[in-house]
Structure 1
Amino acid sequence: MKNTMVLVRTDDFQKAMVALADLVRYGGMKIRGEPRIVPPALSDWAFEKVVGEKPKKRYSAHVVAQIDLPPAKAIGRLREIHPPAHIIVIPPQSKVHGELLRLWGTLEKLKGFHQPKEIRRESKDEEE
Structure 2
Amino acid sequence: MLNTMVLIRTDNFDKALIALADLVRYAGMEIRGKPRIIPPALSDWAFEKLVGEKPKKKYRAHVVAQIDLPPSKAIGRLREIHPPAHIIVIPPDSPVHRELLKMWGTFEVLKGFYPPKKSRKGEESEE
Q: Number of aligned pairs?
A: 119
Structure 1 SS opposite 2:6: strand
Partner of 2:112: 112
Give per-residue Cα distances to partners, 1:2-27, cap 9 Å, x unaligned.
00000000000000000000000000
**Is 2:73 the partner of 1:73?**
yes
Residue 115 of structure 1: CA displacement? 0.9
CA RMSD of aligned residues (A): 0.8
Once the two structures are superposed, the pairs formed by residues 56-95 of structure 1 within 5 Å of their partners are 56-95=56-95
Residue 118 of structure 1: CA displacement? 3.4
Give per-residue Cα distances to partners, 1:81-107, cap 9 Å, x unaligned.
011100000000000000000000000
Partners of 1:28 and 1:118 within 8 A in 2: no
Structure 2 Cα separation of the partners of residues 90 and 13 of structure 1:
20
**Is 2:38 the partner of 1:38?**
yes
Give per-residue Cα distances to partners, 1:65-90, cap 9 Å, x unaligned.
00000000000000000111000000
Structure 2 Cα separation of the partners of residues 82 and 103 of structure 1:
29
Structure 2 Cα separation of the partners of residues 98 and 118 of structure 1:
30
Aligned identity (percent) is 79
Structure 2 Cα separation of the partners of residues 104 and 53 of structure 1:
24
Structure 2 SS opposite 1:89: strand
Give the aligned residue type for 1:45.
W
Partner of 1:12: 12
Structure-1-length-normalised TM-score: 0.92
> 4+ runs of 1 displaced by more than 3 Å?
none
